[in-house]
A and B are shown apart, each in its own frame.
Chain A
Amino acid sequence: MSAGTPDAVVSIQSLSKVFGKGGVTALQDIGLEVERGEFVSLIGPSGCGKSTLLRIVGDIIEPTSGTVSVNGKPARRARLDRDYGIVFQAPVLYDWRTVAKNIALPLEMLGWDRGRRADRVKEMVELVDLSGFEGYHPWQLSGGMQQRVSIARAFSFSPALLLMDEPFGALDEMTRERLNLELLRIWDEIGSTIIFVTHSITEAVFLSTRVVVMSARPGRIAGIVRVDLPQPRTAITREDPRFFELVTEVREQLHAVGADEVLEEATLQ
């Protein structure tokens, strides 16, 4: 068993990742604990390794050194126990499956019988507000709807931990804000733990209980901002003066690590 608070879902200790022999150091000496029910965002300039970190936690790639434990188990064990749900920036839906069958995919892997799958799919379709679209194929849906299906699929088997890699990055601003609210509602209803990679400062502050600011080359944790905005968050939260203070705090931390491109994006918004 690794050290860490007993309630930690994810415990990362002195983790590093080097790509290639003596090559680029993507992550250096990362230490992070994520507690049950938390919503933690990773933000930083491109190349800071935030996606790499997420992929290591999900046991998609292996770290060069250091340890990751999920629910007190090594990452590999946790993956084999199906403790993760993953949502990518692209929906990665199966074209040949309908909405309902896409959502049911992980349940098939878990060996659920047909009736139980159908019940859960119905619940999930309602949860992501896609009732009536069960029989559609992904290419018949808009980008926002596709991402909703992808979220429903990730939540369908109630994984302890949800890993989201810029899930709303490819969507327009209005769709993104609406899906932010929906994600918070689902997170609240299901009570899971989420690690969320994003490029957007406002998105990170709005969604998270903590924002982890990362620096680039090598990727390190530069600072952590605890977001003490009241729950549940609503559209009004975005107008809260405290919201702006926190956005400024994250921005200043990013500035300190020289993440100018994220800041440029932020000023454009």
Chain B
Amino acid sequence: MRPMSAIALEHPRTRTTAVRGGIGRALLFVLVLAALWGLWEGYRWLWIREGWTKPFVVNDITMPHLYGIFHQLFVPARVNGPQLITLLCHSALFTAKEAAVGFGIGATVGFALGVILSHFGVLRRGLLPYVVASQTIPIIAIAPIVVVGLGNYNIAAWLRVAVIAAYLTFFPVTVNTLRGLQSADPRAIELMHSYAAGGWAILWKLRVPSALPYLFSAFKVSATASVVGAIIGEAPSSIPDGLGGAIINFNQYYTLEPKNLWATNLVAACLGIFFFLAVVVVERLVVRRAPEHLA
């Protein structure tokens, strides 16, 4: 071989180190989970024993046992009905559909808006304040308007909820698209000019790939936000099929059976985490970047 081949290459991670890293991470996850569990039960036990009432009274209503919450998942929700977890899984699936479509719409619109705003300085200066303002309006104030407004157009109820999820999703994508597109190396842009590349080629071959790490940071925020948006959006639409419907339902019976609501929250959190992890997986597959440059 020629001498230059002797130049050291960065060694890819070997399989054993990857496995060891995976085991370590799993162990850490279990440890933190155990610690949180201990904190919850310890707090509960201490406050009940000492009879403390600040900041709130601790009893089976305000803080059920964690194992009780888990156990509740496997108790039939109605007499002779299916287990709670079966119901909640159906609800979660329904909400996931709304959230996923909402995320898709929001990410697409957010990205397109970012590209347009980054390209036209006048629009950026003129419109950006309103884009920011759109996010200062509470979603519960927007939701009924969207749901009722779109209802006039014969759009399916779940799709209207998806629009609300999209409303919560697009903003981080727009902001990060703007930043990401500007992050391209100026010399790389000069290089593209030297190839007589047009704006479109520079956008797709340089600016967008440069923006990908920024985009994925936004997608991570947006993915979880879309789940929250879908859950909140179900309330004013009175859709009973999703997690939002389940939460409203169990809210009304909270003093009778608080564990149902807690179990629902648990499933909602899992759905959010699932969305987040899905983005992480896609990022791993799509973004090819030096490890130190990964956002």
Residues of B within 8 A of A138 (CB): 290
Residues of B within 8 A of A141 (CB): 7, 9
In the bound complex, do residue A140 and residue B9 qualify as a contact, i.e. CB atoms below 8 Å apart?
yes
Q: A90-B187, A95-B293, A136-B9 are in contact. Are A105 and B4 (CB under 8 A)?
A: no
Instruction: Please encode chain A, from 133 to 165, with 1 for each CB lying within 8 Å of some chain B CB and 0 for all others.
Output: 000111111101100000000000000000000
Within 8 A of B (CB), among A172-197: 178
B12, chain A: closest CB distance, angstroms: 8
In the bound complex, do residue A79 and residue B196 qualify as a contact, i.e. CB atoms below 8 Å apart?
yes
Q: Could you say which of A58, A92, A136 has the most chain B C-beta atoms within 10 Å of its C-beta? A: A92
Q: A85-B194, A109-B195 are in contact. Are A96 and B187 (CB under 8 A)?
A: no
How far is B280's CA from A241's CA once the two chains are assembled, in angstroms?
A: 62
In the bound complex, do residue B196 and residue A145 qualify as a contact, i.e. CB atoms below 8 Å apart?
no
Number of residues from A at the complex interface, CB < 8 A:
33
A8, chain B: closest CB distance, angstroms: 21
Instruction: Please encode chain B, from 273 to 295, with 1 for each CB lying within 8 Å of some chain A CB and 0 for all others.
Output: 00000000000000111110100
In the bound complex, do residue B196 and residue A80 qualify as a contact, i.e. CB atoms below 8 Å apart?
yes
Within 8 A of A (CB), among B163-202: 185, 187-188, 190-197, 201
Whether a CB of chain B sits under 8 angstroms from the CB of A60 is yes
Q: A109-B201, A129-B2, A144-B4 are in contact. Are A79 and B290 (CB under 8 A)?
A: no
In the complex, residue of chain B having the shortest beta-carbon distance to the beta carbon of A178: B4
How far is B11's CA from A136's CA once the two chains are assembled, in angstroms?
A: 12
In the bound complex, do residue A94 and residue B209 qualify as a contact, i.e. CB atoms below 8 Å apart?
yes
Whether a CB of chain A sits under 8 angstroms from the CB of B119 is no
* Set B196, B205, B289, B291: member contacting A108, Cβ < 8 A: B205
Whether a CB of chain B sits under 8 angstroms from the CB of A265 is no
In the bound complex, do residue B4 and residue A92 qualify as a contact, i.e. CB atoms below 8 Å apart?
no
Whether a CB of chain A sits under 8 angstroms from the CB of B10 is yes
In the bound complex, do residue A95 and residue B289 qualify as a contact, i.e. CB atoms below 8 Å apart?
yes
Residues of B within 8 A of A178 (CB): 4
In the bound complex, do residue B190 and residue A94 qualify as a contact, i.e. CB atoms below 8 Å apart?
no
Whether a CB of chain A sits under 8 angstroms from the CB of B26 is no
Whether a CB of chain A sits under 8 angstroms from the CB of B100 is no
In the bound complex, do residue B209 and residue A96 qualify as a contact, i.e. CB atoms below 8 Å apart?
yes
How far is B206's CA from A109's CA once the two chains are assembled, in angstroms?
A: 12
Residues of B within 8 A of A95 (CB): 288-290, 293
In the complex, residue of chain B having the shortest beta-carbon distance to the beta carbon of A143: B7
A146, chain B: closest CB distance, angstroms: 11
A19, chain B: closest CB distance, angstroms: 17
B213, chain A: closest CB distance, angstroms: 10
Residues of A within 8 A of B209 (CB): 94, 96
Residues of A within 8 A of B196 (CB): 79-82, 109
How far is B281's CA from A255's CA once the two chains are assembled, in angstroms?
A: 60
In the complex, residue of chain B having the shortest beta-carbon distance to the beta carbon of A110: B195
Whether a CB of chain B sits under 8 angstroms from the CB of A213 is no
How far is B195's CA from A110's CA once the two chains are assembled, in angstroms?
A: 8
Residues of A within 8 A of B205 (CB): 105, 108
In the bound complex, do residue A145 and residue B288 qualify as a contact, i.e. CB atoms below 8 Å apart?
no
* Set A80, A88, A109, A145: member contacting B7, Cβ < 8 A: A145
Residues of A within 8 A of B32 (CB): none
B154, chain A: closest CB distance, angstroms: 43
Whether a CB of chain B sits under 8 angstroms from the CB of A39 is no
How far is B188's CA from A105's CA once the two chains are assembled, in angstroms?
A: 11
In the complex, residue of chain B having the shortest beta-carbon distance to the beta carbon of A174: B3
In the complex, residue of chain A having the shortest beta-carbon distance to the beta carbon of B198: A109
Q: A140-B9, A144-B4 are in contact. Are A96 and B195 (CB under 8 A)?
A: no
In the bound complex, do residue B10 and residue A139 qualify as a contact, i.e. CB atoms below 8 Å apart?
yes
* Set B7, B9, B194, B287: member contacting A79, Cβ < 8 A: B194
* Set B7, B190, B290: member contacting A86, Cβ < 8 A: B190
Instruction: Please encode chain B, from 192 to 222, with 1 for each CB lying within 8 Å of some chain A CB and 0 for all others.
Output: 1111110001000110010010000000000
Residues of A within 8 A of B10 (CB): 139-140
In the complex, residue of chain A having the shortest beta-carbon distance to the beta carbon of B2: A129
- A–B Cβ pairs within 8 angstroms, 6 of them: A79-B194, A79-B196, A88-B191, A95-B289, A109-B195, A141-B9
Given contacts A106-B195, A136-B9, 10 further A-B contacts (CB under 8 A): A60-B190, A60-B194, A94-B188, A95-B289, A96-B288, A109-B192, A137-B288, A139-B10, A141-B7, A145-B4
Interface residues of A (CB under 8 A from B): 58-60, 79-82, 84-86, 88, 90, 92, 94-96, 105-106, 108-110, 129, 132, 136-142, 144-145, 178
Q: Which 10 A-B pairs have the closest CB atoms?
A: A139-B290, A109-B195, A142-B7, A96-B288, A80-B196, A92-B187, A86-B194, A96-B209, A106-B195, A140-B10
